[in-house]
Amino acid sequence: MRAVGSRVHGAPINRLIVVGAIAIVASSCNSRLPVIDEAVPVIPSAVAVGEPPPPLAPVPAALVSLIVSPAAVFSGSGATGRVGLSFPASTPGLSVALSSGDAVVAVPTSISVAAGATSAEFPIVTSALSREITVSIGARSGDRAVQATLALWFRTPPFIASWTDQGNGQPIAARRVTSSARWRANCYGSDVSVGASDGSSIYSLLFGAPQGTALTPGTYDNAQPLSSTRSPTAPKLDILAPSFTSAGCAPAAAQSSRFVVTEADFVADQLGTVRRFTATFEQRCGTATIRGEASLVGVSPTVTSGPRCLVPR
């Protein structure tokens, strides 16, 4: 088949004629020279014109991570594990086998990541111990395996331990100072001030009963950080700890702020000697939440002046 030349206002035009899988380009001009035909191959398409392309095959999800949060707890306390996938799990979900390196740390035998999800959480239960250990926890799916560790602490005074959740989906940060740290503790008036530093972690804690009353064992709800607007009838809780500070957190912004004193043995001397003090605490400031424990025995006082410590009569 040949293309017939034509003119539009005296200008030659080309016509493209497709026959089967061959495109024929025809050229014409004013002269009577022969028309040169060029055959251009056209790649046939498996998809008819106007039809949508076939859907892409789903990318298989693979196990890529295992996170334990927090990474350290006192033995007998719980933690949470989370497995992560490279892509959302396809229907009906992805099964992940779990294991623990020691019977004192119990995990489920397996967990299923739901279809469309990229992660799943599982509980971790620990048994009380009289020693400190670190246990490996494993996760496996197909030929992919990942591991994480959980440290189990033991309560040996003096210590301060804290767990801080920044509220941004990141793992809870666990920190602690022990007897090897530099310590201070004083009781003055209704307050007990506790501090410790080991070079990498610094703590400064202030626990206070309502003004004019002794700090005794009990629960102190709605504790307020130090500020000019703090009510004198409210208990005090001011915290400087790794990844957390009460500074700038107004009383109205301090939510879920409380502490529980289980031991309080003070001397009403000029030094404000703290013989024994144990308390748990928690405070929320903005999106960050801290909870912790402090236990002191035989920490030397550092303050030599100030109001005498109020002790029960």
pLDDT reading at 43 higher than 90: no
Task: Say what the pLDDT of residue 219 is.
Answer: 97
**20: its two tokens:** 């089967």
Domain ranges of the chain: 1-54, 63-153, 159-297
Using the predicted structure, report yes or no on whether residue 28 has a pLDDT greater than 80.
no
Is the entire prediction scored with pTM above 0.95?
Answer: no
Which among 8-22, 138-152, 245-259 has the top mean pLDDT?
A: 138-152
- Find out if CATH 2.60.40.10 is the number for domain 63-153: yes
List phi, psi (to 5°) of 62.
Answer: -125, 145
Residue 108, pLDDT above cutoff 90: yes
Per-residue confidence band for 47, with pLDDT thresholds at 50, 70 and 90:
low
* Of 20 and 72, the one with more pLDDT: 72
Closest residue by Cα to residue 277 from 250, 298, 251: 298
Closest CA to 121 of 145, 143, 151, 98: 98
Residue 104 has pLDDT above 60, yes or no: yes
Cα(256)–Cα(222) distance, rounded to whole angstroms? 7
Instruction: Report which listed range, 25-34, 44-53, 105-114, is most confident.
Output: 105-114
Q: Which tens digits make up the pLDDT trace of 111-169?
A: 999 999 999 999 999 999 999 999 999 999 999 999 999 999 999 999 999 999 999 98
Digit-coded pLDDT (tens) for 165-184: 999 989 999 999 999 999 99
Please name every residue paired with 306 in a beta bridge, in sequence order, or none if there are none.
Answer: none
Q: What percent of the chain has pLDDT over 70?
A: 80
For the chain, the average pLDDT equals 85
